[in-house]
């Protein structure tokens, strides 16, 4: 029973990860840091212009970081629910997560999710091309 719950929670986390756009968020944050470095190295701008641009970049970075933290919390929230249930009802569900079978159940769920997603994308593209 607990292993099927771990499997379902892992699939749920994969779906959340896909829909949150964490990868895009990290790329935007990285690009913001790169742009900040370019602003600092720009010799044509005055110090005031650089300061305004850097403050704008920092505010973007703070927003990106807050979104990233929120996304990570949402991503791990299904697994956090197991720990909350464990504390409330004094079960041993959280110990199962650390066992070899619990880890294997999570890995199998991730691999299965990736395979099914790739097959779905291939099928969807074929249907789109035939219409």
Kindly state the average pLDDT of the residues 90-110.
82
DSSP 1: -
Tokens of 131: 């219409």
Given a cut of 80, whether residue 1 has pLDDT beyond it is no
Instruction: Give the up-direction half-sphere exposure of residue 1: CA atoms within 13 A in the CB hemisphere.
Output: 2
pLDDT tens string 114-128: 999 988 888 887 776
What is the share, in percent, of the chain residues with pLDDT greater than 90?
35
- Residue 92's pLDDT is what? 67
What CA–CA distance (Å, rounded) separates 111 from 117? Answer: 10
pLDDT band with cut points at 50, 70 and 90 for residue 33: very high
- The count of domains in the chain is 1
In percent, the amount of the chain with pLDDT more than 70 equals 95
Q: Whose CA is closest to 58, among 41, 26, 35? A: 35
**Structural tokens at position 49:** 């212009």
Domain that residue 18 falls in: 2-130
Q: Are 110 and 12 in contact, with CB atoms under 8 Å apart?
A: no
| CA-atom Rg of the chain in angstroms | 22
Q: How many Å apart are CA 26 and CA 29, to the nearest integer?
A: 5
Whether residue 32 is predicted with pLDDT greater than 80 in this model: the reply is yes
- Helix, strand, coil: what percent of the chain each, to 5? 90, 0, 10
pTM exceeds 0.85, yes or no: no
From the list 25, 27, 42, 36, the residue with the least C-alpha distance to 59 is: 36
């Amino acid at each position: 029973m607990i292993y099927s719950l771990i499997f379902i929670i892992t699939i749920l986390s994969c779906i959340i990860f896909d829909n949150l756009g964490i990868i895009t968020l990290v790329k935007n944050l990285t690009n913001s840091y790169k742009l900040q470095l370019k602003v600092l190295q720009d010799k044509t701008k005055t110090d005031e212009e650089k300061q305004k641009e850097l403050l704008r970049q920092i505010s973007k970075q703070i927003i990106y970081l807050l979104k990233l933290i929120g996304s990570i919390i949402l991503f791990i929230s299904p697994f956090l629910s197991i720990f909350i249930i464990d504390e409330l009802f004094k079960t041993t569900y959280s110990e199962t997560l650390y066992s070899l079978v619990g880890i294997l159940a999570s890995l199998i769920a991730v691999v299965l999710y990736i395979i099914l997603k790739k097959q779905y994308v291939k099928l969807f593209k074929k249907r789109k091309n035939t219409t």
